[in-house]
Amino acid sequence: MKFTRAFSLIIAMVIAPAALAGSNTQNDDTAALEKKLSEALSVDVMSIKESPIAGLYEALTNRGVLYISKDGTKMFHGTLYDLDKGMKNLTEAAMAGPRIDMMKPLEENMLVYKAKNEKHVVTVFTDVSCGYCRKLHNQMDEYNDLGITIRYLAFPRAGVPSANADEMEAVWCAADPLKAMGDAKSGKRIKSAKCDAKIAEQYNLGQTFGINGTPAIVLKDGSLIPGYQPPKDLLRTLEAAQ
């Protein structure tokens, strides 16, 4: 018994430093890769870890997911699929969870059209001048009647700063932002207004999510649907995701 305990203690003493050394080596590797990406591409790296492909790391940045080789010499920006799991979008899956946490600081800045009998909540990155954004907004009552609450975040397609961004700030800073949104999307001119609407932060968040067009719909689990979905189609998508 004493021999067994002593032997176990020796093994633990040998393994622990080795495991720690391995962990430190990995931390050093990821720190070097983060530095390489930041310097080469001027991106902010929020996290970096091993990807599903051996020898390739997955970096979550303010410009979406990037993949970089372990030695830091090769990088690609694209979508990674799993052929053995029904073409599962692994890049999208990597972004889904973090999106939820990243939206939380901007929840107070969202324009919310709440369903009376709320069953689902989606967050829509929108632009006041986008045709399909206007179509979605014109059907707001239908979404709400189906139990879908719509939360808006701003994504001025012309970027920030721009006249487009100023117009969206005017909506967010209006005395009645929900009415102002409807007016803006019907082509009415909104009186200029300034406040701490965080339009730039909302736009930058959309870029981090990989959004390059509007509307873009974020579901409760953080998954992203690019483009417009009619009310009943969106409901089916939400029910299937439960």
Of 72, 92, 75, 124, nearest to 234 (Cα)?
124
Q: Identify the active-site residue in 130, 134, 151, 173.
A: 130
Give residues with Cβ within 8 angstroms of 64, minimum separation 6.
Answer: 77, 95, 207, 208, 209, 210
127 included as an active-site residue: yes
Q: Identify the active-site residue in 133, 134, 151, 173.
A: 133
State whether residue 179 is helix, strand or coil.
Answer: helix
Cis-peptide into 161, omega within 30 deg = yes
195 included as an active-site residue: no
The CA distance from 28 to 217, in Å, is 37
Q: Identify the active-site residue in 99, 127, 134, 173.
A: 127
Q: Which class for 12: exposed (0-12), middle (13-18), buried (19 or more C-beta within 10 A)? A: exposed
Q: Which helix (H) or strand (E) holds 59?
A: strand 56-61
Q: Identify the active-site residue in 63, 134, 157, 173.
A: 157
* Residues identified as active-site: 127, 130, 133, 157
